[in-house]
């Protein structure tokens, strides 16, 4: 048994009452055992968190680790140009080694900035190497190889035979799903409607039901993309996904910038999980998603940084801040307040991956996935007048994260990321 005791902290629980407590937090193995109060000093590892703030680890529901190495190589383009001219040729050029290091580079950055769970999408090839990196890093993740069996201007190396794409996905699922006691899960990743045949999408629907795993894809990100789908399928993205039977509570849908009323209604009625990527939507000039409207409709909205080149940053602090700020000019300053976006970054992400009873808040019995922030290091001073959640959303950066804990293991301390799993 391994135990960790965090002493004298401010604890932002994000439990049902969204309580902020003072005191200690005790972890045994991978679970939170006690929260708050003075818990004494018996533990294998004691962390003094005086004047520090413990938060639930961030859950990012849309990431492309395979794109981390392409940061800066695809700037100032819009989606379809960006994919065709830059991203697809770069993905096609990946080999096993570059896939592993691209993942490791992204994972280091995510863990340093307090992200403890990701929903990732790899490229067509070398996904096994990326899973290897995810296993070693200690991150909690849902990931899978991208599937794309048609498309204009997709390099030959990325256009798959439908049967092979499905077989390779199932092989990876059988190797990695539920690895390390469920820390790693497989998710099917058809890239987007534009690059997938109906045969592929139908197979994904059946396999995701059979294996009880999530489906992670992009939809309605950009007006050009929507036009292509309308030409190909004669209808809009979400209507088409619904017709296939993919619009259900196990679907994580990235972007959803340009939804019409019918698509919004389908997302709500079917329990589809929306992943909002404000940084990427701004940089690729995709648009501003109608998140306040989706929240009013009681749709679960979580956050993701997308890939490094669509954002230049994998930092959840950035996404929270942007998710709030981009709505304020037209809705007014009290809309998309700090608590709303912090909820999207934590418990909202947990709901998206169907793990709200395991992660997303600091509660007894949940997995110990946490970050310890030192908010007084650089830019502020202790004051009971300042709401700590507001302080985090509007002013914190990755440099404020002192420690990241996943599954009860310290995976980052003072900027240094530790490899947790070398025996694979």
Q: Is residue 264 a contact residue for ligand GUN (CB under 6 A)? A: no
Q: Does 64 bind ligand GUN (CB under 6 A)?
A: yes
- Regarding 346 and contact with ligand GUN (CB under 6 A), the answer is no
Rule CB under 6 A: is residue 120 a binding residue for ligand GUN? no
Work out how close the CB of 66 gets to ligand GUN at its nearest, in angstroms, rounded to a whole number: 9
* b/e 226-257 (16+ beta carbons within 10 angstroms → b): bebbeeebebbbbbbbbeeebbbebbbbbbbb
CA distance 296 to 273: 14
Beta carbon nearer to Fe ion, 109 or 306: 306
* Binding characters for ligand GUN, 155-194, by CB under 6 A (x = yes): ------------------------------------xx--
* CB within 8 Å of 167: residues ≥ 6 apart: none
The reply, when asked if residue 64 is annotated as ligand binding, is yes
**Nearest approach, Cβ of 72 to ligand GUN (angstroms)?**
15
Distances (CA, A) of 125 to 129, 131, 190, 201, 348: 9, 12, 13, 19, 31
105 C-beta neighbours (distance < 10 Å), count: 17
Q: Which helix (H) or strand (E) holds 250?
A: none
The residues, any chain, with a CB within 8 Å of residue 270's CB and separated by 6 or more, are 242, 247, 248, 249, 251
Give dist(CA 207, CA 214) in Å, integer.
10
Angle formed by the axes of helices 316-325 and 338-345, nearest 10°: 140
Place of tokens 């997303």: 360
Nearer to Fe ion, 122 or 263 (CB): 122
Residues 248-307 that bind Fe ion (CB under 5 A): 306
Residue at shortest CB range from ligand GUN: 218
**CB-nearer residue toward ligand GUN: 87 or 370:** 87
Interaction mask 204-243, ligand GUN, x per CB under 6 A: --------------x--x----------------------
User: Is 255 annotated to bind ligand?
Assistant: no
Annotation: binding site: 62, 64, 91, 218, 221, 306
Annotation: binding site for Zn(2+): 62, 64, 218, 306
Interface positions with ligand GUN (CB under 6 A): 64, 79, 83, 87, 191-192, 218, 221, 280, 306-307, 310
């Amino acid at each position: 048994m391994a135990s960790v005791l965090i002493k004298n902290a401010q604890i932002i629980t994000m439990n049902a009452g969204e309580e902020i407590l003072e005191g200690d937090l005790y972890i045994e193995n991978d679970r939170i055992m006690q929260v708050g109060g003075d818990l004494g000093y018996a533990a294998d590892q004691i962390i003094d968190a005086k004047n520090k703030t413990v938060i639930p680890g961030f859950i990012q529901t849309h990431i492309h680790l395979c794109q981390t190495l392409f940061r800066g190589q695809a700037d100032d383009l819009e989606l379809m140009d960006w994919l065709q001219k830059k991203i697809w040729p770069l993905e096609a050029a990946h080999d096993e080694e570059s896939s592993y290091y691209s993942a490791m580079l992204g994972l280091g950055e995510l863990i340093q900035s307090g992200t403890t769970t990701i929903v990732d999408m790899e490229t067509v090839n070398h996904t096994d190497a990326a899973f290897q990196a995810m296993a070693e890093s200690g991150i909690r993740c849902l990931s899978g190889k991208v599937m794309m069996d048609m498309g204009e201007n997709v390099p030959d190396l990325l256009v798959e035979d439908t049967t092979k794409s499905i077989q390779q996905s199932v092989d990876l699922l059988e190797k990695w799903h539920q690895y390390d006691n469920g820390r790693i899960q497989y998710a099917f990743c058809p890239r987007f409607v534009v690059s997938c045949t109906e045969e592929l999408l139908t197979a994904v629907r059946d396999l995701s039901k059979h294996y009880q795993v999530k489906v992670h894809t992009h939809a309605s990100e950009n007006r050009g993309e929507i036009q292509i789908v309308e030409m190909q399928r004669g209808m809009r993205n979400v209507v088409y996904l619904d017709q296939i039977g993919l619009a259900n509570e196990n679907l994580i849908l990235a972007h959803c910038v340009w939804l019409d009323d019918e698509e919004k209604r389908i997302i709500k009625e079917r329990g589809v999980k929306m992943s909002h990527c404000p940084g990427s939507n701004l940089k690729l000039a995709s648009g501003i998603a109608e998140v306040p409207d989706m929240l009013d409709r009681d749709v679960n909205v979580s956050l993701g940084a997308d890939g490094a080149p669509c954002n230049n940053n994998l930092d959840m602090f950035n996404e929270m801040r942007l998710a709030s700020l981009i709505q304020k000019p037209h809705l007014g300053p009290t809309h998309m307040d700090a608590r709303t976006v912090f909820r999207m970054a934590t418990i909202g992400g947990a709901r998206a991956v169907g793990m709200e009873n395991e992660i997303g808040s600091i509660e007894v019995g949940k997995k110990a996935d946490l970050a310890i922030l030192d908010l007084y290091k650089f830019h502020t001073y202790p004051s009971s007048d300042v709401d700590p959640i507001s302080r985090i959303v509007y002013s914190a950066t990755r440099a404020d994260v002192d420690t990241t804990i996943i599954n009860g293991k310290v995976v980052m301390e003072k900027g240094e990321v530790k490899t947790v799993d070398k025996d694979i």
